[in-house]
Amino acid sequence: MKKLTSFITVILLLGVSLLLISCGKANESSGDKNEGEITLEYWVGWSPGEENAIESKKLIEQYEKENPNININIQELNYDMIHDKLVTGITAGDVPDLSWGLGEWVADLNGMGGLMDLTGYVNEWNDKENIQQSSLDALTINDKLVGLPYQTGARALLVHENMLKDTGINKVPETWDELIRIGKEYNENTGKYLYGMTGTSVRAPQEMIGYFAQQGVEIASESENGKFRNTWNDNPKELEAATKVFAFYQDLIENKVVDPNAKTWDWETADTNFATGTYAMEVVGNWMQERESSNPETMKDVSVTVPPYGEEPATFLEVKPIFIFKQSEHPEEAWKFAQFLLSKEFQEKVQSANTPRTDVVEDTKWGNGFKDLGEIGVSFPPVPMGNITKNMEDALAKVIQNNEKPKEVAKWLSDEINKSLKTSGVLSED
């Protein structure tokens, strides 16, 4: 009898324990404090204490007051942490309702099945007409919008006007040919270099894709089957256009338009050299406004204009998305909050210079000067980019460090991109 009593006691304790564990998991998964209240998990990549973070928190607190059943739980992470947590979280079923991201992640996260299709929501959204179409296109895969453009930024040519005038140069180069001619003249007159570029780091492929667009070629074209392929080796005209890009890099170095040390420069080195007036021009984003604050004397003569081009004006357009995840338990509330983040009021107060909205105006060179370039902006194709950006950096090293023939490098890069697409399962065999 004693043994039977002990056995029943153990069973009851085990049952109570399982019940408590079950209740604990339910509370954890819902994230809701009280009945009727909803907590949205929101991961952001801002740096704590920076101006836009402070203003964002104020506006979000106001949003919570106006929507008393909604709590916004903000997690401040850097982009590397966000990426790693999302990759593991999608597989494990542990993702936030909304998160910041980078354009380079879109294809990978969508391929994992993590991103909500927002096409229907946005098509019914009255504010859709106020969002740059090029930004929406950059987050569209197979006709499905899988992210919302939260920040955008085109690259522009920044020019130290006084440095040109001091050497009698009154014209900013508009084409590659003019850049080479004026840059060569500038070096002969001053012994200095006219133009800045990066030979390494994340900036190098971004600069390169802008140059390819200026020659009218893509690194991966979408086929009718929805997959992608680099077609340079299938099309002599495209191969010739891609070859001109690599020949342009060599011309910049050989004609002393660019400092030979730029072969190994990363973006921080390049930006610092421009901000301190080491050279007169650089294609870069409007984050250089911060450098104007820290280098007021050397940055006071800077103007903003269209980057010099080969065949047609084009520039790299960086689009930073907000994702809403399929595993969100509150998709309608997440979409409503996302609309608030993209609203005119929020964007005007937080990031008027980097907004994807066409009706938010910052009448400065750092605002409209860059926004006007959005219409000629191009982004990376919606394919997994990890190996491809590495392929592009390697191709650049072959041309400017090893001095290999531009046409052979273009052929090599075409093959390597298709190998990367095949590895990712998105290569079109058509």
Structure-token pair, residue 335: 């979409």
CB 71 within 8 Å of CB 97: no
Please state the φ and ψ torsions of residue 284, each to the nearest 5 degrees.
Answer: -160, 175
The predicted-structure confidence for 405-420, as pLDDT tens digits, reads as follows 999 999 999 999 999 9
The predicted-structure confidence for 253-285, as pLDDT tens digits, reads as follows 999 999 999 999 988 899 999 999 999 999 999
In DSSP notation, 177-192 reads HHHHHHHHHHHHHHSS
Q: CB neighbours (10 Å) of residue 292?
A: 15
The predicted-structure confidence for 153-194, as pLDDT tens digits, reads as follows 899 999 999 999 999 999 999 999 999 999 999 999 999 999
- pLDDT at residue number 132: 87
In the three-class reduction of DSSP (H, G, I as helix; E, B as strand; rest coil), residue 125 is classed as coil
- pLDDT at residue number 42: 98
**N-term to C-term CA, the chain:** 78
| pLDDT for residue 314 is more than 80 | yes
The predicted-structure confidence for 197-236, as pLDDT tens digits, reads as follows 999 888 899 999 999 999 999 999 989 888 999 999 999 9
Buried b (16+ CB within 10 A) or exposed e, 392-418: bbebbbbbbeeebebeebbbbbbebbb
CB 360 within 8 Å of CB 376: no
Please state the φ and ψ torsions of residue 171, each to the nearest 5 degrees.
Answer: -125, 130
- pLDDT at residue number 201: 82
To the nearest whole number, what is the mean pLDDT of the chain? Answer: 89
CB 361 within 8 Å of CB 352: yes
| 15 confidence band (pLDDT: 50, 70, 90) | very low
| pLDDT for residue 5 is more than 60 | no
Q: CB neighbours (10 Å) of residue 272?
A: 13
| pLDDT for residue 26 is more than 70 | no
| 34 confidence band (pLDDT: 50, 70, 90) | low
Q: What average pLDDT does range 237-250 have in this prediction? A: 98
| 29 confidence band (pLDDT: 50, 70, 90) | very low
Strand 156-160 relative to strand 281-284, pairing: antiparallel
CB 256 within 8 Å of CB 419: no
| pLDDT for residue 60 is more than 50 | yes
CB 367 within 8 Å of CB 352: yes
| pLDDT for residue 134 is more than 50 | yes
In DSSP notation, 303-362 reads EEEPPPBSSS--EEEEEEEEEEBTT-S-HHHHHHHHHHHTSHHHHHHHHTTS-SBTT---
Q: In sequence order, which residues have a C-beta less than 8 Å from that of residue 298 and are 6 or more positions away?
A: 160, 275, 276, 277
Distance CA 348, CA 353 (A): 9
Strand 148-154 relative to strand 98-100, pairing: unpaired
CB 69 within 8 Å of CB 36: yes
- pLDDT at residue number 423: 92
**Which amino acid belongs to residue 363?**
D
CB 201 within 8 Å of CB 396: no
Distance CA 180, CA 274 (A): 18
Q: In sequence order, which residues have a C-beta less than 8 Å from that of residue 35 and are 6 or more positions away?
A: none
